[in-house]
């Protein structure tokens, strides 16, 4: 697999300082001007100012410079011109207008979470003391930005661009919903393409250590703004990840997730969903309640459409 990882995401919003402060409170550090990350991966979210909310760019990693040459040739065969440098390639998404950078790079190593003592049936690991999560001595932070979901006016063309041009791989498809899950790493998905009336971001996602980490940080968000919860907590069917979807101060939906399927061998990946007893529109195997409409389409879609038109899209 030439592509190896999802490195960072640049979001354009009206008030980047407000969004930066929001993520500082959730545990992401400001590592440079307009840049958020962690000691392990200093560059994860990049924020910039714009008249409407959208993805400005994202960066993925590859192994070798020869991978860049291969990608450049594939893009040309699709009629798409890219800019090739010494150790990176950049190209403009023909539908969304954002920039994708493919870089010869290795993502910062993520160390496993520090084990926490858990009690369970037949297992006594934490005797005579409370859970760290219960008394908030466990203060989790997002570990990495894992994926982004895009709504396309031409999903088939978008999938063709990312798969046959850039080299993303298909993990799962839901033809009834027009959804295609794509990956550039071992994660089940780093990119999901959905149909939408206007090209837009559906959500971005940050990986947490475990379900307690999702619960604690998600509660912090809802405590600040009770209407921020969109959907969750729950566990997805496709991808298997535990999730909680929330709104950030810019109006963008984001997901805290953990325990996503990992695909290390295409031949061994069980890609066939059980169609005999599963409705393809079933989003979660369990969840805490109905989702808000933001889960399917941004509530500010009209403002996004107007912003795109003003920008010449």
The structural domains of the chain, ordered by start, are: 3-108+140-266+280-308 (3.10.180.10)
Distances (CA, A) of 289 to 71, 230, 233, 283: 43, 10, 8, 12
pLDDT of residue 138: 80
Coil vs helix vs strand at 110: coil
Mean pLDDT, contiguous 10-residue spans, the chain (313 residues): 93 98 98 96 97 97 97 97 97 98 94 92 96 90 97 98 98 91 98 98 98 97 97 95 98 98 91 61 88 95 97 92
pLDDT of residue 56: 98
pLDDT of residue 276: 53
Maximal C-alpha separation, the chain: 66
pLDDT of residue 280: 65
Coil vs helix vs strand at 32: strand
CA separation for the pair 94, 85 (Å, rounded): 20
Cα atoms in the 13 Å half-sphere on the side-chain side of 281: 3
Q: How many residues does the chain have?
A: 313
pLDDT of residue 89: 98
CA separation for the pair 254, 246 (Å, rounded): 6
At which residue do the structure tokens 């893009």 appear?
A: 75
pLDDT of residue 274: 56
């Amino acid at each position: 697999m030439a592509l190896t990882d999802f490195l960072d995401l640049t979001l354009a919003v009206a008030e980047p300082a407000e969004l930066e402060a929001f993520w500082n409170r959730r545990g992401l550090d400001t590592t440079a001007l307009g840049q958020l990350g962690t000691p392990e991966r200093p560059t994860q979210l990049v924020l910039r100012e714009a008249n409407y909310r959208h993805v400005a760019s994202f960066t993925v990693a590859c192994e070798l410079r020869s991978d860049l040459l291969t990608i450049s040739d594939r893009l040309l065969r699709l009629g798409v011109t890219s800019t090739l440098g010494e150790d990176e390639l950049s190209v403009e998404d023909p539908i969304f207008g954002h920039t994708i950078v493919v870089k010869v790079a290795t993502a910062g190593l993520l160390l496993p979470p520090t084990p926490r003592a858990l009690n369970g049936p037949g297992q006594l690991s934490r005797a005579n003391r409370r859970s760290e999560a219960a008394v908030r001595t466990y203060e989790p932070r997002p570990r990495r930005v894992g994926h982004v979901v895009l709504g396309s006016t031409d999903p088939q063309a978008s999938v063709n661009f990312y798969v046959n041009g850039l080299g993303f791989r298909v993990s799962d498809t839901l033809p009834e919903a027009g959804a295609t899950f794509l990956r550039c790493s071992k994660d089940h998905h780093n990119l999901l393409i959905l149909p939408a009336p206007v090209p837009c971001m559906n959500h971005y996602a940050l990986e947490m250590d475990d379900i307690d980490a999702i619960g604690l940080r998600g509660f912090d968000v809802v405590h600040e703004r009770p209407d921020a919860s969109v959907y969750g907590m729950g566990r997805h069917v496709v991808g298997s990840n535990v999730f909680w979807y929330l709104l950030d101060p810019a109006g963008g939906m984001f997901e805290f997730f953990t325990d996503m399927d990992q695909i290390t061998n295409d031949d061994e990946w069980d890609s066939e969903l059980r169609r005999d007893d599963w409705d393809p529109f079933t989003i979660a195997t369990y969840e805490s309640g109905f989702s808000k409409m933001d889960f399917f389409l941004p509530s500010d879609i009209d403002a996004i459409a107007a912003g795109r038109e003003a920008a010449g899209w």
